[in-house]
Amino acid sequence: MASLDIRVAHRQAQAQTLSPRLQHAVRLLQMSSLDFAAMLRETLGRNPFLEVEEGEDGEGGDADATPADWDDAPPSLLQDALAPQAAPADMSDVDPDGGFDGPAATHDDDGAHSDGDRELWAADGASAARGAGDGEFGALDLIAVDTPLNEHLHRQLNVLPLPARDLLLARAIVESLDDDGYLRTPLEELLDVAELDPAVDLQELQIALRCVQALEPAGVGARDVAECLLLQLPTIACTDTRALARAIITDHLPALAARDTAGLARRLRQPAARVEAACERIRRLDPRPGWRIGSSQVPYVVPDVIVRKVRGQWTVQLNPAVVPRVRINQVYEQLFQRHRTPANAELGEHLQEARWTLRNVEQRFSTILDVAEAIVKRQQAFLDYGPMAMKPLGLKEIADEVGVHESTVSRVTNNKYMATPVGVLELKSFFSRAMISANGSACSGTAIRSLVKDIIEAESPDAPLSDAEITRQLAQQGLVVARRTVTKYRQMLKIDAVERRRRAA
């Protein structure tokens, strides 16, 4: 019998790892401007050492002013936490970025620092006290609060005379709806959601689903587009039109999407005018009923950088609207440094987080500006002459120029936008691989996509060009492009296929 040989070997190796702080900085760099602003607002809300820098117009009051009623003002939580305490005899050193780097300051019995502390607190509280008038409302206080879709549906369920068991199942279905108002989860998977005795069966869930589908907005709780449209058919007043629309949605939904009115008229054996009227009425239904409830704010793109031509040269600058004006509250920092004790270790962590946040903000926008400047330097022809002049560009070129890794450039260009004279463009749209033409010159995919758009716009309305015909025209101009590539570019341009363009004509 062979013996088992077990050995223990020790080996040393060097490897690069990302510290938690660096991982956090990488995540911040990848965020869009809106997500980054939301994260920063959340950090401002929980970190007492961070504050918004006041504007030049003086809003927020003079920091040197002292309110007359400061003696009656209640002490803040931070003031209570930083109240002078007797330091222990032995105190170990802590991180200087936010903790303790030596013995705590001692305090005399007569409160030598009390007068200075009072002046600091009064200076910091002046602006807040001035702007907080009793009984006054601002414009933001009068804005209506948006109601989420699930809360809107729960309110309707609360007024229905449902047994407790049925109400619980209906609420479970409401919580499973997506933002469009659809139930994407199969009912079978919801059987184990509600732990009821006796166990829930599929028929009970179907009854609860019908209850949810009867709520407003019409069409909510559908499991596909056809069911969503069918749930909204009662809004059609004409009986004949409603019956014809039901037949179209149930059996001929692809033909409806293709706008094949003639084919629908033949299959349904109805006049083309009636079929067209029914199709038009169906198109007025809402395929995403959940969008009617919820946030009323329209999302829009805010550019991170702005490109202008000044004295014949393209210049890049950060958009002031997206650059946060935050700083460390010097009053709180001085008070913490004066009264720091082991009991205030949590405040030391907050101070360290505040300093890291400021460094991350500076690094984020500095990197974005450097990458944007490198992109503009290589794509000046595009800014001067349009998409046909876009040059091929790779991440490595910009990474070498800025002095960072390609992955960093990829994170910077994701969800970051540049305002140019030709429109607001995502930074990653300036990158494309080189496509070699017949004469050996390199051409970018953006230029070919622009050429495809020009060819389609110049086609005859009576004889639209297919993707294969567009491919042949590109080949005649020395650009060898696959037909599937032309199809991809046409879809990116949101241009219908040749069959739909022919019917529309």
pLDDT value, residue 243: 92
Chain CA centroid to CA 24, Å: 18
pTM of the model: 0.59
409, 412, 417, 420: CA torsion to nearest 10: -40
Alpha-carbon distance of 108 to 477, in angstroms, equals 88
What's the gap between Cα 264 and its chain centre?
41
Mean pLDDT per 10-residue interval, the chain, length 505 residues = 68 68 76 85 86 59 37 40 40 40 44 59 53 48 67 91 89 89 86 74 89 92 92 91 92 86 89 91 91 69 90 91 87 81 82 87 91 93 86 90 89 90 88 74 81 89 88 86 89 85 70
Please give the structure tokens belonging to residue 81.
């936490």
Give the SS3 label for residue 426.
strand
Nearest to 250 by CA among 236, 263, 264: 264
pLDDT at 368: 93
Separation CA 342–CA 351 (nearest Å): 14
Cα–Cα distance between 492 and 486 in angstroms, integer? 10
Per-residue pLDDT tens digits for 312-363: 899 999 999 888 888 888 888 888 888 878 877 888 888 888 888 888 888 8
Q: What angle, rounded to 10 degrees, do the helices at 202-213 and 164-175 form?
A: 70
- Helix, strand counts (H, E) of the chain: 21, 8
| CB contact at 8 A, 453 and 459 | no
Question: What does the H/E/C string look like for 113-165?
Answer: CHHHHHHHHHHHHHHHHHHCCCCCCCHHHHCCCCCCHHHHHHHHHHCCCCCHH
d(CA 439, CA 442): 9
Domains and CATH numbers, the chain: 149-292 (no CATH), 434-504 (1.10.10.60)
Cα–Cα distance for residue pair 452/468, rounded to 1 Å: 12
What is the C-alpha separation between 371 and 305, in angstroms, rounded?
10
Predicted local confidence at residue 73, as pLDDT:
37
Which of 79-112 are b and which e, b meaning 16 or more Cβ less than 10 Å from the residue's Cβ?
A: bebbebeebeeeeeeeeeebbbeeebeebeeeee
Amino acid letter for position 245: A
pLDDT (0 to 100) of residue 19: 66
Position 357 scores a pLDDT of 86
